[in-house]
């Protein structure tokens, strides 16, 4: 029997954690046990409704103690009324609200969390705040990198950690869905000339995502091939875009940089790309951008730290370069552009790798197995 699960996160914007929540909700609905999600709301609430998942609008991410306590009291009533079996927290403050609501409820459901990131952990107070997510008998890590982090920083016993890497939907990320005409039309919309190599970095404009490293690397390219770099993602800092534009102008490549903004046609953009990047200067907990590009059979150049060490196989599906190193990154780009046939072969191998290891179904099945472990009677 599938447990009744209530997932908690601050809000339902269109990010990786939020998308993972919706994917799990869809899977539970497919199993005949639609669950609940508690958050402050957001764009993805409509997707929950399509699967029959109930959304409970509560400020579970609020850090004001009185607001958080009020959310916990209301959540406790929801737990009892909906006969919730498992509380699954996907962020730190929601974990504390879930734990308080659990104590206030009559049912006392099981508690589990997913560590989706490293989170700031310098100082005892920060670590104590983060440790609310570790109060359950098990904790889910979204990569081996995060598993190792939990062991080394918080002293979590390895046997308490279940690794459930993020995944992609193979039907949505399928290069066969994007023909030559569609790709040519998209290139035109994005301002990429015919015959130019299209280099894509998907990720919000944030300093640690590596956009500046890539701009400096592009300025150092030796290739004679024409190219355009397309940055896909919303802005978290208007100042950064100005700095990137100024740096590109200083090196005479401003006209080759395209800021595409936040877009919902990421699979189509990746299908149109020649080369994709995941070059954050700080370790990604997992790094979904890399597996999305590989799923679309595109070779990936990634920074050699964090989750990328698990999602990009150097010489087999792409390249790994030292983080924040424009010269090494430029050399990898030059190598990729010099041999399109090899780059295409790496991309094809990347798709096979992702389909074998990083699908949404594998992720949600691992998480559903955790729910069952928490609720089935001990044998």
Q: What is the pLDDT of residues 144-180, one digit of tens each?
A: 999 999 999 999 999 999 999 999 999 999 999 999 9
* 138 pLDDT higher than 80: yes
**Over the chain, what is the mean pLDDT?**
96
* 40 pLDDT higher than 80: yes
Report yes or no: 236 and 206 within 8 Å, Cβ to Cβ.
yes
In tens, the pLDDT along 211-224 reads: 999 999 999 999 99
**Phi first, then psi: what are they for 43, rounded to 5°?**
-60, -30
Max distance between CA atoms of the chain, in angstroms, equals: 69
* 90 pLDDT higher than 60: yes
Query: 3-state DSSP call for residue 309?
Result: helix
> Which of these, 218, 340, 344, lies nearest to 279 by C-alpha position?
218
1 falls in which pLDDT band (50, 70, 90)?
confident
- Residue 234 has a pLDDT of 87
For 174, the token pair is: 């399928």
Residues 238-260 have a mean pLDDT of 96
Residues 51-75 have a mean pLDDT of 97
The C-alpha atoms of residue 9 and residue 97 are separated, in whole angstroms, by: 10
pTM for the whole structure: 0.91
- Residue 120 has a pLDDT of 83
The C-alpha atoms of residue 151 and residue 344 are separated, in whole angstroms, by: 38
Contacts with 323 (C-beta within 8 Å, 6 or more apart), sequence order? 210, 279, 280, 281, 282, 283, 303, 304, 305
> Which of these, 158, 174, 336, lies nearest to 268 by C-alpha position?
174
| Cα–chain center distance at 259 | 21
- Residue 378 has a pLDDT of 58
Long-range contacts of 329-332 (CB under 8 A, 24+ apart): 329/213, 329/214, 329/217, 329/279, 329/301, 330/217, 330/218, 330/220, 330/221, 330/222, 332/301
- Residue 379 has a pLDDT of 47
Length of the chain: 379
* 344 pLDDT higher than 60: yes
Mind listing the domains of the chain with CATH numbers? 5-167+360-375 (3.40.50.2000), 175-357 (3.40.50.2000)
pLDDT: which is higher, 301 or 234: 301
In order, the DSSP letters of 209-276 are G-HHHHHHHHHT----S-EEEEEES-BS-HHHHHHHHHHHHHTT-GGGEEEEES-S-HHHHHHH-SEE
* 14 pLDDT higher than 80: no
**Phi first, then psi: what are they for 83, rounded to 5°?**
55, 55
Residues 55-80 have a mean pLDDT of 98
Report yes or no: 295 and 172 within 8 Å, Cβ to Cβ.
no
| CA dihedral sign, ordered 288, 290, 291, 296 | positive
Percent of the chain scoring above 90 in pLDDT: 93
- Residue 237 has a pLDDT of 65
Question: What angle, rounded to 10 degrees, do the helices at 16-30 and 360-375 form?
Answer: 70
| CA dihedral sign, ordered 262, 268, 269, 270 | positive
In tens, the pLDDT along 293-335 reads: 999 999 999 999 999 999 999 999 999 999 999 999 999 999 9
């Amino acid at each position: 029997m599938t447990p009744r699960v209530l997932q908690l996160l601050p809000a339902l914007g269109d990010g990786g954690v939020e998308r993972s929540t919706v994917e799990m909700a869809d899977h539970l609905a497919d199993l005949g046990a639609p669950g609940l999600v508690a958050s402050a709301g957001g764009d993805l609430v409509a997707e929950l409704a399509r699967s029959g998942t109930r959304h409970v609008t509560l400020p579970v991410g609020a850090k004001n103690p009185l607001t958080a306590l009020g959310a916990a009291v209301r959540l406790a009533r929801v737990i009892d009324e909906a006969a919730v079996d498992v509380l699954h927290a996907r962020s730190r403050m929601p974990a504390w609200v879930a734990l308080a609501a659990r104590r206030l409820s009559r049912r006392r459901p099981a508690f589990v969390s997913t560590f989706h990131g490293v989170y700031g952990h310098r100082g005892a107070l920060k670590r104590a705040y983060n440790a609310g997510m570790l109060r359950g008998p098990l904790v889910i890590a979204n990569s081996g990198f995060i598993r190792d982090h939990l062991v080394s920083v918080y002293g979590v016993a390895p046997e308490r950690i279940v690794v459930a890497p993020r995944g992609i939907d193979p039907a949505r990320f399928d290069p066969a869905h994007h023909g030559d005409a569609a790709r040519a039309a998209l290139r035109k919309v994005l301002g990429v000339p015919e015959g130019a190599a299209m280099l894509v970095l998907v990720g919000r404009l944030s300093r640690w995502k590596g956009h500046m490293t890539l701009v400096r690397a592009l300025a150092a390219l030796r290739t004679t091939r024409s190219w355009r770099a397309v940055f896909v993602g919303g802005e978290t800092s208007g100042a950064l875009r100005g700095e990137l534009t100024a740096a590109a102008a200083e090196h005479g490549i401003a006209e080759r940089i395209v800021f595409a903004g936040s877009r919902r046609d990421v699979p189509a953009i990746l299908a149109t790309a020649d080369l994709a990047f995941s070059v954050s200067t700080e370790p990604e907990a997992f790094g979904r951008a890399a597996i999305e590009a590989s799923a679309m059979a595109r070779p990936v150049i990634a920074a050699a730290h964090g989750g990328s060490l698990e999602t990009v196989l150097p010489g087999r599906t792409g390249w790994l370069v030292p983080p924040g190193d424009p010269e090494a990154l430029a050399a990898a780009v030059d190598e990729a552009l010099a041999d399109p046939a090899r780059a295409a072969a790496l991309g094809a191998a990347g798709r096979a790798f992702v389909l074998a290891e990083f699908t949404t179904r594998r992720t949600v099945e691992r998480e559903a197995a955790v729910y069952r472990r928490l609720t089935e009677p001990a044998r």
